[in-house]
Structure 1
């Protein structure tokens, strides 16, 4: 079977267009939060019509521009297919959004499937995030990345920090909030980080946490129990900014199961070493 070459520039343009369309819907609702209809999917897992309508806007644009690609979206589901699949979080940081906390974003990523060609003539050996867009409409900050090309904040190229160790680092994280089954693995890592870093921050939007690692605001980040659409875009943005973003369990080619650590070439291995002793081994 012939491998498919992905038109990454066109894909990035489509994702940016979709992210802006979704953000326009979110910001319109943000001025009338009291009128939002809010449903509870599970404990502490909320969804509103803002999530649903912004996701629909993203999907409509991506289906029109890239009809042969699969779509996996937070609210409407979907499945992977073809040479690549989009992973969409139309509102990362829903709880922040609903409480009027200006820390949320639209996150869109393209995952190229094994066998696709994105650079040169050699097909990819494993599924790989190749396009990442994270748009923060409150700050009007657009984080983008393209596999093998680089990462940008608006039109400025970005790089991870140069922090040499955890002791000189500010680290982002996320507490268990929906699934508490891994709390006994997570809490010792949080205790270690509090005691051995310059500071720990928990701002409640994983896509932005990863984007902030990419631009050097955070020196590292780790979290457990996320969803693939929370981390897909951030993974490629961190990697293209010169950083490391990987699966905590070292099983998957990207943190598709939502157990993620990220940082620069010094801090990421240090975070990994901090986490590993506390993981349950299968």
Structure 2
């Protein structure tokens, strides 16, 4: 782990053991609530009803004691400045990482508050209430898994021997297959990169229970170009450019990675020299 047990990190600033920022036990990254889109009392029956429900954003309170180890008011104020800079507003989602129980976790979201009190400033300390809102409420592993590049399949061997009864020796597939494993408590999305040349790339994920999901993109990815596919967000971008969406050419389903070990199959409309790379993180609620 990049962090030691009990440490937190945002924008490169590390909090917790071994730093000037003591993170109190009241800091809690695990609170999460359900968001009900529709609900209310039943008009002609007991109880109530509820429509579709989703996980709400995750609000993470982080309570901090700045303690520079001496009655140094100036050093305490400088530490406050650094903390305020780390929790400043952002127009993009940021990673908040924390290490607990021997594992490093990650949340994606935005800083929302950094509120110091001045009561202890005279002795070189300061209480600070901070907050981070994970707009994506899933907790991810800080470690990102990666498989690839996986080449398109080729076939070797295979022939029919003219014996009394024709005897067929099956061909052997080379490339195009790999295993993907995930832990946690929930299925997770995949980040797929298809590097050309690949005519009509096809990605199939076969779950541990044998169910298969296939996504095909009906374009030819030229040599030197690539497709970025996010199966959670269901986006297909040529060369990673949001203005070059190829979502309309996607056919089939966007696969999610189920718990356990799944099989990846990479194919195309014909043999080519393109490759596929896959990235993902474990996920928890």
Q: Which has the larger radius of gyration?
A: 2
TM over 0.5, shorter chain: no
TM-score, normalized by length of structure 2?
Answer: 0.27
Q: Return the structure number with greater strand share.
A: 2
